[in-house]
Amino acid sequence: MALTYRTLMQLAGILLCLLGWVLSCLTTYLPQWKNLNLELNELEIWTMGLWQACVVQEEGGMQCKEFDSFLALPPELKISRILMFASNGLGLSGVLLSGFGLDCLKVGEQQQDLKKRLLFLGGVFFWISGITAIIPVSWVAHSTVQEFWDETIPDIVPRWDFGEALFIGWFAGFCLILGGSLLNCTACSTDVQSSSVHYTVAKVQDTCQHMESGNRPPRV
């Protein structure tokens, strides 16, 4: 039962981490980090991401324009690009390391200590990946709130609002942290070694055979 419970926790952790990593990569390239709805023209919605700004028109679809210069971006968008790239790279490294450390993978089955270290290291990478995904999303959200409630800006000036990518990024970060925590818990838990299990099973079978031979009725 212990081995089954441990394997289930590992599978749940790696699935959460995979989901978080995919959503983190998706958040990096989505243009909906900020939304701007013009009251004078409700048929257009402006969106801004880390790479481009788009306008969504009710009849003309979506038109996007890439940012011309990295240096011309606001500080939160510059740092967000770097942190999101770091999050995606750390998440990929965590998938590779923890994948080789799973109990259900028979590669390196005789080296349990190495598998536990790989699993723990992969969980740590997922932890850092989740934190580096939450930081830029929260930073952009914080700057958006400050601009929204800035009293020096006239009320008639449109204000940016939260985009869908921010919520996806928060969810991705929490999935990475939760999945990494599950992997670290299974790596640090005391597991039953396969050799001891086989030895116990063999010992029980020998005992049963001796009991059967002792209780066997004499032949006529």
| Amino acid 94: pLDDT | 92
Residue whose token pair is 């059967």: 212
| Residue ranges per structural domain of the chain | 2-34+70-192
| Amino acid 211: pLDDT | 47
pLDDT in tens, 141-200: 998 888 887 767 666 667 788 889 999 999 999 999 999 999 998 888 755 444 444 444
CATH 1.20.140.150 fits 2-34+70-192, yes or no: yes
CB within 8 Å of 162: residues ≥ 6 apart = 34, 35, 141, 144
Residue of 104, 80, 110, 113 lying closest to 7 (CA atoms): 104
pTM: 0.77
pLDDT in tens, 84-104: 999 999 999 999 988 888 877
Tokens of 155: 């009320």
Task: Please say whether the beta carbons of 17 and 98 come within 8 A.
Answer: yes
Binned at pLDDT 50, 70 and 90, residue 39 comes out as low
